[in-house]
Structure 1
């Protein structure tokens, strides 16, 4: 059966690209998101993939760019629906939030067809996503520095938690954050519709990072192999899970000197960073409240008092 997404249309064994119209720009011209359909030669599940829900998070776009050309529809069982760039307006100006309404896309799901610009895009992409059996919402830690991880955002008490956690383990970045997310996230809204959904956070950088993209491409193919879309084995490894974050701000204004690297195990009381003035004089030192993993940090060294500096993943176990 022919499958369509926006103007993309593919019969079994075919691939096509097109646009999914989501509104109009300020000059009245139509705004369409780049979409693709890979329709397998054999019946099977449907996978939905989207990237750049936040306009400056480009590693997911790199994953789409590199993984989709490697998938041969003649060897595929099932269908893959792809939205390559979700936050169209933010992507055009390399910003995190949609500049039309100053809104973060990944707080707007399931969206509203008659709402703001962001809500309309969320509604259109959510309609596409809920046609699927599995949802991958590709993100990164904005332009800060962060380890490669996968987020399970439905919460441990959700009826689909086990399925979402298994999907995160199959994707396999090495680290999992298993913590209920804010309202409006696709990784919250998808499971509420009965669809296992994960939010791979592929590092954090300005532009994109080759290693994070490589891990993301491997994750996509792990899912394709693990869920029967393609023949082959999952490239699996043990996953380290965090149940939440301790976040740290600066006690003073100045320059940050980190005492830990991303992915380091830290113990309670261990120094995470120091703050000095421009002449190197110590102004403050921050230590870990709990044992965990040094997970995320700001990119620029200059900070004001109280400004965010870093996060430590806590409640660590292995899954």
Structure 2
């Protein structure tokens, strides 16, 4: 019998339930939606979670499409899933947990006696470190971004090669191989010996079917490669960036991008222009380094110093 919250399943069964992580302001229980898929044959454990940032919904779309396709009788090992991590933010379609104004993916490994976000992080972290592999589904918030997998443990970490392999297997096409901020699950779980990746499935408002489809394919790539499912999968080469340069607006106005997402840019090449509302040019920003146009804001209007776009740098093929 495998249990995750109130979900429990014997070999060859699947069950869904709730993982209690506290109470709302009216005293009712907060339970995260969880699932256990207990394969008929023994094997390893994969933990998948989505929506640790409440407005990043593509991962929820992946979970919604993957679970109905899983037949426990055909699986070796166990799959644990938390479909929505940031319960409070998801309810109001916001990025941060509004109860404590915290970005959930900065709260790991959490604290089971701490703030709302720390308690949720602690409960889901327990599930993550019980697994052999972790896939933490994200997206580039509501901005525009390519599909990519992030390896966040740092190149000197003892599990770096295992995390990088997992990212290559997932197969988004691009990998950002750069140590992440403290509190990210993809940084904290490797410290406990569990290879973890942070797939960033594009960026949109609501969800995007193309990005979700890539996420579904990525999950099944992992299930096949690591022998949860029968079959053969050979990872394809991925474009890897180990640097990430962000660009802000030197003045206020309207942004006109000169590069498209996923496009190669050269040092000194224009990335965007800023004009006033009458179309008069105010500034042209060029790339400091060669790389790939990785991410950009969605809305055209910017204030001085506001984020505009990012370029992945130090590019190679892995």
> Is 1:152–1:168's contact at 8 Å kept on the other side of the alignment?
yes
Query: What's 1:146 paired with?
Result: 145
Query: What's 1:46 paired with?
Result: 45
Match runs of 1:298-317 below 5 Å: 298-317=297-316
Does the alignment pair 1:270 with 2:269?
A: yes
Query: What's 2:195 paired with?
Result: 196
Deviation at 1:84, TM superposition (A): 0.3
Query: What's 2:117 paired with?
Result: 118
- TM-score, with length taken from structure 1: 0.99
Deviation at 1:237, TM superposition (A): 2.5
> Is 1:222–1:233's contact at 8 Å kept on the other side of the alignment?
no
Deviation at 1:236, TM superposition (A): 3.4
Deviation at 1:305, TM superposition (A): 1.1
Match runs of 1:214-233 below 5 Å: 214-233=213-232
**Cα distance in 1 for residues equivalent to 2:266 and 2:21:** 48
How many pairs does the alignment contain?
318
> Is 2:169–2:236's contact at 8 Å kept on the other side of the alignment?
no
Deviation at 1:218, TM superposition (A): 0.3
Query: What's 1:36 paired with?
Result: 35
Query: What are the ranges of 5 or more consecutive residues in structure 2 without an aligned counterpart?
Result: none
1:196-236 per-residue CA deviation (whole Å, 9 max, x = no partner) reads: 00000000000000010000000000000000000112263
**Cα distance in 2 for residues equivalent to 1:195 and 1:17:** 24
Query: What's 2:91 paired with?
Result: 92
SS in 2 for 1:225: helix
Deviation at 1:77, TM superposition (A): 0.0
Does the alignment pair 1:168 with 2:167?
A: yes
**Cα distance in 1 for residues equivalent to 2:233 and 2:148:** 17
Query: What's 2:290 paired with?
Result: 291
Over the aligned positions, Cα root-mean-square deviation in angstroms equals 0.6
Query: What are the ranges of 5 or more consecutive residues in structure 1 without an aligned counterpart?
Result: none
